[in-house]
Structures are given as C-alpha cells and as structure tokens.
C-alpha cells in the first residue's frame, strides 16, 4: 500500500506492506535510526515517537496507520541546526547514561512540556512512567525535563 | 516480530465500515487503538486475514454527557478519559482511567476496544460491570444495546456479531449521593493488575445504600461481578462491619491463581482489603455530595 507520511517536516512516500511496523518504516525505510527498538512488546517505550504531537509506541502501530499523519522523531528535535532546549538540558544535567532510552525520553519530555509548561517532579515521573531506563538514571532524566521546561518558559518570555 | 500477512482496510465513513462488516465480517478484525491487538498479532495469537482500521471514521470519538449517562464513543482513548471533565461524572470511571496501561499506551488504546477485546485481566470490564454500563453495537441493520453483563461472554469473547462493531459505551453518571472507586495493585506501571477492584455506590435519601456495584479484575477466569456482595449491601446503612462482610464475600467469590504476581492466598487477601477500601472511598465521595 502506498503511504505518505510527513516525518520531521519532510514528506515521504513509500510502498509498504500493511504489516510493516511504524518503527521499522522509520528505521529501515527512512534510515532514521535515532528511534530505537527495545522490547518490541509495547513495554519499554524506547521506540516512542510523536504522531501529530502525541507520544506513541511505534512498535505497536503499523506504518499504514500513519498515512497522512505527521511524525516527529529525535532527529526532528533540533531547531535551526542547534540543539533544542530538551537536548541541551539532557546534555547539561547528564540525563543519559547509555543513551538507549534517551530519544524516547526527550520526545515524551517535549510532549509533556507542550501540554504542561511547568511540570512538577511528580508530573514528569508520571509522564515517563511508560518509558524504561535500564541504567535507572531517572533522577537526572527528571531533572533534565524540568530544566528544559524552565528553559522553554524563559525562551518563550524573552 | 511481525504479524502474519493481512489485508488492510481504512474506511472513511461508518456506512462503509459497516458494509465491509456485513460482507466479510467473519474474516475482519477491527483495529482501534491496537494496543492489545497488535501485540497479539505480533505473537501470532491473533491472525486476522483482514484488519479494518476505524481510526479514520468521523463522529465516533465523542465523550459526552447525555441524560444522566456518560457516552464513550468507540475512538475515545484512555487518556481522553483521564483528561476529561465529563468522565468525572462517574467516579469509578475517573478513578480507573489513570491506572490503565501506561501513559503512552493510554494515548492510543480505547475504552470500547478494551471491552470488545475482553482480555480477562483488563481493567475497564470490571469498571463497567460495577457501574452497570451498556454497550451499543451497530451493524448495517441498525443498532442494539446490550447490558455489559450480556455483552461480555467469557475471556476474549463478547456478544458482538461479526457484522457488528461497538460504537458506544454508556455508563450511568453518579448522582450527588453516589460515589465510586477503582483499586489496582500492579507490580509496575503498564503491567496487568495483580488484583483490581471496582466499586460503585448510590445512597438513598435515608443515607442507606440504594444500589451497589462490585467487580474484580485478574482474580478469576474473567472479570467477576460479585452479585452476592452487592445484594448484601443493598438497603443497609453503610458502616465498616457491612463493608467487611462485602470484602469477605468478594474474597470467597474470586478464584485467583498463584503466579509471578503473587500467591492465590495473597491475592484473595488483597481482594478483601481492596473491596473494603474501595467501598469506604466510594462512601466518602457519596457523603460529600458526589464531588
């Protein structure tokens, strides 16, 4: 089936088998390997991408379902060639250890901040509760997302 | 992991979807949120030859209040319920929504889909059993409404015919003398319930219990409505002893299995505790005026 999907602002058309998973379409068809595959069973959340701004687990959606939709992957976070506030914050606050869960954590953080510009620690922990970090580096992930929220607020008001 | 091959259909109107179901409903599986169905297809427990994606159908994503009921359209996501003020009109529904799956799964998974899938360890079926919900089934021949007790048949089985789809779930709103609650014990976010208990109470003008609902998750072969405990509560003045009796009955009615989530004995004990706790929470809401 022929589908057209906008990924990080660029339109892509491709012929895909209906059973092609969205994560594999992103990784193998579009060659955007920032989106990772972890458990492949809807548990770990490392394959999270934003579909029309909403976080979804791309191992549990077929590419054909994304036809006509707009997707953001980690590669789409940077703005005008420089790091987005969420990326700066993860770098600054050491919000990653091995880095495997990081793309998903940053996307979930981005969606959270869009909805709640000043999230409490509880809000952040709740929002990322569908995403596992096997390094268990949650403390700094939470700090990073809160710092990104602060930076985003300050950026918006300046 | 990849599912077996299937044909994919994405109708753009309800009429089109229903005509597909009337022609070839036997081979079609409906895809709403897909958060249970797709994992099952990947494990090849489910091998539908045709998948009909209903996500492009207009007009079935409403979460509304009408005539004392909350109506939940087929495409209402768990997270829509979490965020909705309308859903707060039923306290059991509002209490359960944040405990379904995890935040990301809740963005796609649907309430109606969860009921239609009828995983015996799903949370929503218990909520709907406790609250006396109804399910609207639509085919090209028209619509029929079934009480949840008739809709749910057994694990992974419902009364939905191959030519029908679930279009709405109707749940009675609580009155200002009503309250409800969902207690869920889970090992981690996103896991099935180790034990879940849904409760709902309506008090009469005299402060006695006019009606009660209790249903259990993950401690029987399917979601279990505990009619005997509901009957014991009805017409009585609510107090701790009465709730303790309901807890004992619920614990005796369930039939949990020992597994990685806990021993049968432990789960039975939790059913007892959660039933009492849920009823107490429901009562508190009811006595505070349903707010």
Q: Residue B38 belongs to a domain with what CATH number?
A: 3.30.43.10
Whether residues B165 and B210 fall in one domain: no
If residue A106 lies in a helix (H) or strand (E), which one and from where to where? helix A102-115
Contact B201, B212 (CB under 8 A): yes
Let me know if residue B1 belongs to a domain: no
| Structural domain spans, chain A | 2-76, 85-157
Residue B81 DSSP label: H
Count of A-B CB contacts under 8 Å: 73
Let me know whether B168 and B198 are in one domain: no
Do residues B136 and B185 both lie within one domain?
no
**Whether B150 and B229 share a structural domain:** no
How confident is the model at residue B1, as a pLDDT?
A: 85
At B69, which CATH number? 3.30.465.10
Q: Are residues B185 and B102 in the same domain?
A: no
| Share of residues in chain B with pLDDT > 70 (%) | 99
Query: Within this chain, do residues B204 and B147 fall inside the same structural domain, yes or no?
Result: no
Rg (CA), chain B: 19
SS3 B210: strand
Same domain, B279 and B246: yes
Closest CA to B122 of B84, B91, B78: B78
Q: Which value does ipTM take for this structure?
A: 0.96
Q: How far apart are CA A49 and CA A97, in angstroms?
A: 20
Rounded Cα distance, B142 and A137, in Å: 54
- Is residue B238 a part of any domain in this protein? yes
Indicate whether B291 pLDDT > 70.
Answer: no
Query: What pLDDT shows up at residue B197?
Result: 98
Give B4-29 pLDDT, tens digit per residue: 999 999 999 999 999 999 999 999 99
Structural domain includes residue B2: no
Q: What's the predicted TM-score (pTM) here?
A: 0.96
CB environment B27-38: b (16+ within 10 A), e (fewer): ebbbbbbbbbbb
CATH code (residue B257): 3.30.390.50
According to the model, what pLDDT value does residue B13 have? 98
What confidence score (pLDDT) does residue A156 get? 83
Inspect the interface and report whether the beta carbons of A19 and B105 lie closer than 8 Å. no
Q: Are residues B29 and B127 in the same domain?
A: no
Give chain A positions within 8 Å (CB) of B34: 60-62, 65
CA distance B215 to B126: 5
The CA R_g of chain A, rounded to the nearest whole Å, is: 15
Would the CB atoms of B38 and A42 count as touching at under 8 Å?
yes
For chain B, list residues whose CB is within 8 angstroms of any CB belonging to chain A.
1-8, 10, 31, 34-35, 38-39, 42, 51, 53, 55, 101-105, 107-108, 189-190
Q: In this predicted model, what pLDDT tens digit does every residue of B209-235 receive, in sequence order?
A: 999 999 999 999 999 999 999 999 999
Asked if B138 and B202 sit in the same domain, the reply is no
For the segment B133-178, what is each residue's pLDDT rounded down to a tens digit?
Answer: 999 999 999 999 999 999 999 999 999 999 999 999 999 999 999 9
Quick one: fold of A2-76?
Answer: Ubiquitin-like (UB roll) (3.10.20)
Instruction: Spell out the per-residue pLDDT of chain A, length 158, in tens.
Output: 999 999 999 999 999 999 999 999 999 999 999 999 999 999 999 999 999 999 999 999 999 999 999 999 999 999 888 999 999 999 999 999 999 999 999 999 999 999 999 999 999 999 999 999 999 999 999 999 999 999 999 988 76
Domain identity same for B46 and B122: no
Question: In the numeric block, which tokens belong to residue A12?
Answer: 């892509």
Q: Which two three-digit tokens encode residue B181?
A: 């609650």
Residue B270 lies in a domain: yes
Starting at the edge strand that comes first in sequence, how are the strands of the sheet with B178-185 ordered?
B178-185, B195-203, B209-217, B224-225
Q: Establish if B167 belongs to a structural domain.
A: yes
Does the structure show a pLDDT above 90 at B290? Answer: no
In which domain, by residue range, is B12 found? Answer: 7-53
Asked if B108 and A126 come within 8 Å (Cβ–Cβ), the reply is no
CATH top class, domain A85-157: mainly alpha
| Selection from B59, B76, B78, B69 nearest residue B12 by Cα | B59
Phi–psi pair at B264, nearest 5 degrees: -60, -40
Domain count, chain B: 3
CB atoms within 10 A of CB A17: 14
B205 and B107 in a common domain: no
Query: For residue B272, what are the CA distances in angstroms to A145, B22, B212, B251, B253?
Result: 40, 45, 16, 5, 10
Judgement on whether residues B163 and B253 belong to the same structural domain of the protein:
no
Exposure string of B46-82, with b = 16+ CB inside 10 Å and e = fewer, is: bebebbbbbbebeebeebeeeeebbbbbbbbbbbbbb
């Amino acid at each position: 089936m022929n589908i057209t999907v906008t990924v990080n602002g660029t339109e892509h058309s491709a012929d895909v088998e209906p059973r092609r998973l969205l994560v594999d379409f992103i990784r193998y068809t579009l060659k955007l390997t920032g989106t990772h595959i972890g458990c492949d069973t809807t548990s770990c959340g490392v394959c999270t991408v934003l579909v029309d701004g909403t976080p979804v687990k791309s191992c549990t959606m077929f590419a054909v379902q994304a036809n006509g939709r707009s997707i953001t992957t980690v590669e789409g976070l940077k703005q005008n060639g420089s790091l987005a506030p969420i990326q700066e914050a993860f770098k600054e606050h050491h919000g990653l250890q091995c880095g495997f869960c990081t793309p998903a954590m940053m996307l979930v953080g981005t969606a959270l901040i869009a909805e709640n510009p000043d999230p409490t620690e509880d809000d952040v922990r709740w929002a990322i509760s569908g995403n596992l970090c096997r390094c268990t580096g949650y403390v700094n992930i939470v700090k990073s997302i809160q710092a990104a929220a602060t930076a985003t607020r300050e950026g918006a008001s300046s | 992991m990849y599912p077996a091959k299937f044909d994919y259909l994405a109708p753009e109107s309800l009429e089109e979807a229903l005509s597909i179901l009337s022609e070839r409903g036997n081979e079609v599986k409906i895809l709403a949120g897909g958060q249970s169905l797709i994992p099952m297809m990947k494990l090849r427990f489910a091998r539908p030859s045709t998948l009909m994606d209903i996500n492009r159908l207009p007009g079935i994503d409403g979460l509304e209040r009408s005539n004392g009921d909350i109506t939940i359209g087929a495409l209402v996501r768990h997270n829509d319920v979490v965020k909705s003020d309308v859903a707060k009109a039923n306290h059991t529904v509002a209490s359960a929504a944040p405990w379904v799956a995890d935040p990301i799964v809740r963005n796609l998974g649907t309430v109606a889909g969860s009921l239609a899938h009828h995983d015996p360890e799903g949370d929503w079926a218990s909520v709907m059993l406790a609250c006396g919900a109804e399910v609207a089934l639509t085919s090209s021949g028209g619509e029929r409404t079934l009480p949840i007790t008739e809709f749910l048949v057994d694990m992974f089985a419902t009364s939905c015919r191959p030519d029908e789809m679930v279009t709405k779930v109707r749940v009675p709103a609580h009155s200002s003398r009503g309250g409800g609650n969902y207690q869920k014990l889970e090992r981690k976010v996103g896991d099935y319930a180790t034990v879940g208990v849904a409760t709902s109470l309506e008090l009469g003008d005299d402060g006695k219990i006019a009606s009660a609902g209790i249903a259990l998750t993950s401690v029987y072969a399917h979601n279990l409505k505990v009619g005997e405990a509901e009957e014991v509560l009805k017409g009585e003045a609510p107090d701790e002893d009465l709730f303790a009796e309901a807890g004992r009955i619920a614990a005796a009615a369930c039939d949990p299995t020992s597994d990685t989530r806990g021993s049968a004995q432990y789960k039975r004990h939790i059913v007892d505790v959660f039933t009492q706790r849920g009823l107490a929470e429901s009562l508190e809401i009811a006595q505070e005026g349903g707010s």
